[in-house]
């Protein structure tokens, strides 16, 4: 290879690595360590039982089963979810050892069919903390 060709290749590499023009838009961070793969709502039920001759109805609240995958290259030790229903938001924490690539399912009480569930914070085994922007 001649010296002129090497110089041209080096110049092309240097110019490719320069900053983008000021009109370029920043790219949003999309490499989330936890990915929700399925949310299964369970609406709860009402059961009427006889109680000394008087019918009594017992109602159970709804819940949802959330299944998520650890997409990080290291283990996860804590996942914080925000569960939002029509009237409120509750914070639910799932702690454990979640290996990379592992799928985990967790039942969240009070998260009926109308609830949305989002990952708010993830703590990795190496101490790194990821927060939802």
pLDDT, one tens digit per residue, over 25-82 is 333 334 689 999 998 888 777 777 776 666 677 767 778 899 999 999 999 999 999 9
Sign of CA dihedral 132, 27, 103, 128: negative
Count the Cβ atoms, other than its own, within 10 Å of residue 35. 13
**Mean pLDDT along residues 69-97:** 92
pLDDT at 9 (0 to 100): 33
For the beta sheet containing 63-70, the strands, ordered from the edge strand earlier in sequence to the opposite edge, are 34-42, 63-70, 103-109
Kindly state the percentage of the chain with pLDDT values over 90: 42
Across the chain, what does the average pLDDT equal? 75
Using pLDDT thresholds of 50, 70 and 90, give the confidence band for residue 101. Answer: very high
pLDDT at 61 (0 to 100): 73
pLDDT at 122 (0 to 100): 95
- E strands, the chain, where? 34-42, 46-51, 54-59, 63-70, 76-84, 89-98, 103-109, 116-124, 129-131
Chain centre distance of CA 85: 17
Q: How far apart are CA 23 and CA 27, in angstroms?
A: 13
Q: How far apart are CA 43 and CA 45, in angstroms?
A: 7
């Amino acid at each position: 290879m001649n010296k002129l060709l090497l110089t041209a290749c080096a110049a092309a590499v240097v110019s490719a690595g320069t900053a983008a023009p000021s009109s370029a838009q920043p790219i949003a961070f999309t490499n989330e360590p936890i990915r929700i793969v399925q949310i299964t709502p369970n609406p709860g039920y009402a059961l009427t039982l006889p109680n000394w001759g008087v019918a009594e109805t017992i109602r159970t609240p709804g819940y949802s089963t959330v299944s998520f995958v650890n997409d990080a290259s290291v283990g996860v030790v804590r996942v914080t979810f925000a569960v939002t229903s029509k009237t409120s938001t509750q914070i639910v924490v799932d702690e454990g050892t979640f290996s990379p690539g592992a799928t985990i399912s967790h039942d969240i009480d009070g998260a009926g069919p109308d609830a949305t569930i989002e990952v708010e914070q993830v703590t990795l085994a190496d101490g790194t903390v990821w927060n939802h922007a």
